[in-house]
Amino acid sequence: MKQELEQAITKAAKDLFALDVRLELTRPDEQFGDYATNVALQLGKQLNKNPREIADAIAKELTGLSLLEKSEVAGPGFINLTLSDHALAGTVQVETDIATGEYADQSVVLEYSDPNPFKVLHAGHLYQTIFGEAVANLLVRAGAVVHRVNFGGDVGLHVGKTMWAIVQDLGGESPEKLATMPKAERSEWMAKCYVKGTNAYEEDDASKQQIIDLNKRIYQIVSDGEHDSPLAQIYWTCRQWSYDYFDEFYASVGTHFERYYPESETAPLGIEAVKEQLQKGVYQESDGAVVFKGEPYGLHTRVFINSHGLPTYEAKDVGLTLAKWRDYHFDRTIIITGNDIIEYMKVVLKSIEQFEPELVARTTHVTHGQVKLRGGVKMSSRKGNFLRAVDVLDMVAEASQETTGERNNDVVLGAIKYAFLKQRIGPDIIFDPKESVAIEGNSGPYLQYAHARARSILAKAVEHKKTAELADLTADERSLLRKITEYSEVVQKATADLMPHHICTYLYELAQKFNQFYEHNRVIGDDRETERLRLVDLYASTLKSGLVLLGIAAPERL
């Protein structure tokens, strides 16, 4: 419908003025109609004519179109278009055909969350997981085959620190003692060990040296794939505990990763590639390290292999890109990370571009800010005084209990997800647990309730025809229908921008529009019950579709 209109206008402009225009129909203020275009203003400049005259001519040319109720010229030369009720109803599109979506048949590797084994999941991981899942849903709806992957450091200094404290706690390298650790306490215990190891590393030189030595042994264990020594047994067991803990957490928030890429796997690939490209001059030796000089590209220099011959994160990321390519031959890969590594990532990608330009061309780096609590608590995982993912879940569950008197998991998760997703991705976000569970205002629970309420209306109806013709609408009915028709365009924009918050904004507006309608119009028992039930049904389905895209449950009842 929209396309038909666009073609008609483009044709009119061409017939009248012999010019091709780049046309985009926008959604104007409701008072102006269903669609609007500013082509006349663009043409006015090119033709050096009064834009209003051009607009008048085009509007007149369009009057014959059957799908149009009217076309009017307003302001400096906007052409405002109002569809017939029938045509408007025809534009409703709640579910899309994924076979014809923008990502049809494309393979997309989506990397997000990226926690480190041997460390705890913090609020940022929760945010990123929720955001990543929403993006995944958008891509799937657009036709993509999405591969959710996760990257993390199973070797490195943080592992050395945690392992050092683990060995201390066990009273030596005694893997048999791990068997006595109850499952429920494992992740908590490891988190404590990380804090203990970090503090020892900073405060005591002897401990620091022990940690460094231990770390070297762990590198060796991993690169040899050695599973027999006591230390190796402890390492592999605890590493698995970490992954178990991640899986369990992801399941609880509704995500599942199909693959973990441990650094130990990507590091060798990275080193190999960097060394090979060192020969070809992409990378250079400098002070005993292997670096990529970013300055010619307006970037900075970074170390890929340090002077001890060990890979840094940079080399591991090179390896990761190659590993993802090896495994998926993706059409596109999207990496979601915090915004503190924007410049870092530019350097890494620029270096890869020198020898695998196609992979970089298919890569998108999306970044987000920190999660901050209202009032401001800074998060640093070094000392352990930071906001963990479970802390957020607990706070919201508690706030929800206070507000509603119960702990409904759908509501708690819906509140958190919506609170995170409703803000544009990029800057830091300020999270307020109380506001997130608020039953009024722009919140997840509000929308869940709005949906349940609409469903209850439908359940109460004796029968409702899903095919009821929507014509001769009242002003209120039409206004609601008009809002519903915007849904598919909003989803498209959210997908193109990789910004789910557009959907949040829309869903809230939609719910408000419905409440306005519902306040003044009886549904059941009214002369127009058939049409109105159809509208309520479309509204509820749209709300549900949107919430599900965001990863938020839309229960029939609350």
Partner RNA sequence: GCACCCGUAGCUCAGCUGGAUAGAGCGUUGGCUUGCGGAGCCAAAGGUCGUAGGUUCGAAUCCUGUCGGGUGUACCA
Residues 48-107 within binding reach of RNA (CB under 7 A): 74-76, 78, 80
Phi, psi of 500 (to 5 degrees): -65, -20
Residue 170 or 421 with smaller CB distance to RNA: 421
Which of 183, 227, 460, 465 is close enough to bind RNA by CB under 7 A?
460
Say which residue the tokens 């095919």 belong to.
467
Q: Which stretch binds RNA (CB under 7 A): 104-112, 234-242, 310-318, 328-336?
A: 310-318
Sign of CA dihedral 58, 61, 63, 64: negative
Residue 13 or 291 with smaller CB distance to RNA: 291
Per DSSP, 185 falls in state G
Residue 29 or 358 with smaller CB distance to RNA: 29
Residue 47 or 181 with smaller CB distance to RNA: 47
As a whole number of angstroms, the distance between CA 52 and CA 484 comes to 31
Residue 122 or 502 with smaller CB distance to RNA: 502
Residue 170 or 267 with smaller CB distance to RNA: 267
Residue 118 or 250 with smaller CB distance to RNA: 118
Q: How far is the CB of 189 from RNA (least distance, A)?
A: 21
Residue 192 or 372 with smaller CB distance to RNA: 372
Q: Which stretch binds RNA (CB under 7 A): 63-71, 185-193, 223-231, 437-445?
A: 437-445
In the sheet with 289-292, reading across from the earlier edge strand, the strands are 284-286, 289-292, 302-305
* Residues in 263-302 that interact with RNA by CB under 7 A: 263, 286-289, 291, 298, 300-302
Per DSSP, 178 falls in state G
Helix (H, G, I), strand (E, B) or coil at 91: coil
**Are the C-beta atoms of 40 and 58 separated by less than 8 Å?**
yes
Residue 107 or 275 with smaller CB distance to RNA: 275
Q: State the DSSP string of 7-47.
A: HHHHHHHHHHH--------B---GGG-SEEE-HHHHHHHHH
Name the token pair of 434. Answer: 């109380």
As a whole number of angstroms, the distance between CA 121 and CA 117 comes to 9
Phi, psi of 110 (to 5 degrees): -110, 115
* Residues in 376-435 that interact with RNA by CB under 7 A: 404, 422-424, 426-430, 432, 435
3-state helix, strand, coil in the chain (%, to 5): 60, 10, 30
Q: How far is the CB of 289 from RNA (least distance, A)?
A: 3
Q: Which stretch binds RNA (CB under 7 A): 83-91, 96-104, 138-146, 304-312?
A: 304-312
Q: How far is the CB of 501 from RNA (least distance, A)?
A: 6
* Residues in 169-228 that interact with RNA by CB under 7 A: none
* Residues in 342-381 that interact with RNA by CB under 7 A: 342-344, 374
Per DSSP, 281 falls in state T
Site string for RNA, 14-33 (x = CB under 7 A): --------------xx-xx-
In the sheet with 68-74, reading across from the earlier edge strand, the strands are 35-37, 78-83, 68-74
* Residues in 494-553 that interact with RNA by CB under 7 A: 499, 501-502, 505, 508, 512, 515-516, 518-524
Say which residue the tokens 């870092």 belong to.
344
Q: How far is the CB of 45 from RNA (least distance, A)?
A: 5
Q: Which stretch binds RNA (CB under 7 A): 194-202, 239-247, 274-282, 333-341?
A: 333-341
Q: Which stretch binds RNA (CB under 7 A): 52-60, 151-159, 164-172, 275-283?
A: 151-159
Which of 131, 257, 260, 313 is close enough to bind RNA by CB under 7 A?
313
Cβ partners under 8 Å of residue 333, min gap 6: 108, 109, 110, 111, 321, 324, 359, 362, 363, 364
Residue 59 or 393 with smaller CB distance to RNA: 59
Q: How far is the CB of 80 from RNA (least distance, A)?
A: 5
Cβ partners under 8 Å of residue 182, min gap 6: none
Residue 29 or 228 with smaller CB distance to RNA: 29
Which of 438, 503, 550, 552 is close enough to bind RNA by CB under 7 A?
438
Helix (H, G, I), strand (E, B) or coil at 437: coil
Going by C-alpha positions, the residue among 48, 254, 14, 237 that lies closest to residue 148 is 254
112 Cα distance to chain centroid: 9
Q: How far is the CB of 135 from RNA (least distance, A)?
A: 15
Name the token pair of 52. Answer: 């209003």
Residue 76 or 357 with smaller CB distance to RNA: 76
Count of residues that interact with RNA, criterion CB under 7 A: 87
Which of 449, 474, 476, 489 is close enough to bind RNA by CB under 7 A?
449
* Residues in 108-147 that interact with RNA by CB under 7 A: 116
Name the token pair of 455. Answer: 């469903």
Q: How far is the CB of 522 from RNA (least distance, A)?
A: 4
Phi, psi of 289 (to 5 degrees): -110, 165
Name the token pair of 257. Answer: 């990763």
